[in-house]
């Protein structure tokens, strides 16, 4: 089973501001288009698991 979610940096910062994830958490990187992204483990936030269950077959993505 895959357990990772990749979201834009801006979205990750919004979740930090709301107190849903720890400040500075996740693996930050740029995708192939130069977009700043953050990878989080789906267990870090209940919303992540809900999103991945709705959008993926295995409840997450492979790690970058």
pLDDT digits (tens, 9 = 90+) for 17-60: 999 999 999 999 999 999 999 999 888 888 887 877 777 776 66
Residue whose pair of structure tokens reads 């919004």 in the numeric block? 14
> What letter does residue 57 receive in the DSSP assignment?
S
H or E element in which residue 18 lies: none
CA triplet 52, 4, 30: central angle to 5 degrees? Answer: 115
Q: HSE, CB side, 13 Å, CA atoms: give it for residue 2.
A: 16
Give this prediction's pTM: 0.79
């Amino acid at each position: 089973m895959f357990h990772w979610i990749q979201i834009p940096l801006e979205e990750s910062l919004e979740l930090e501001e709301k107190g849903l994830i720890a400040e500075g958490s996740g693996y930050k990187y740029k995708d192939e288009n130069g977009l700043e992204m953050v990878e989080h483990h789906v267990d870090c936030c209940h919303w992540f698991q809900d999103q991945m269950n709705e959008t993926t077959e295995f409840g997450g993505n492979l790690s970058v």
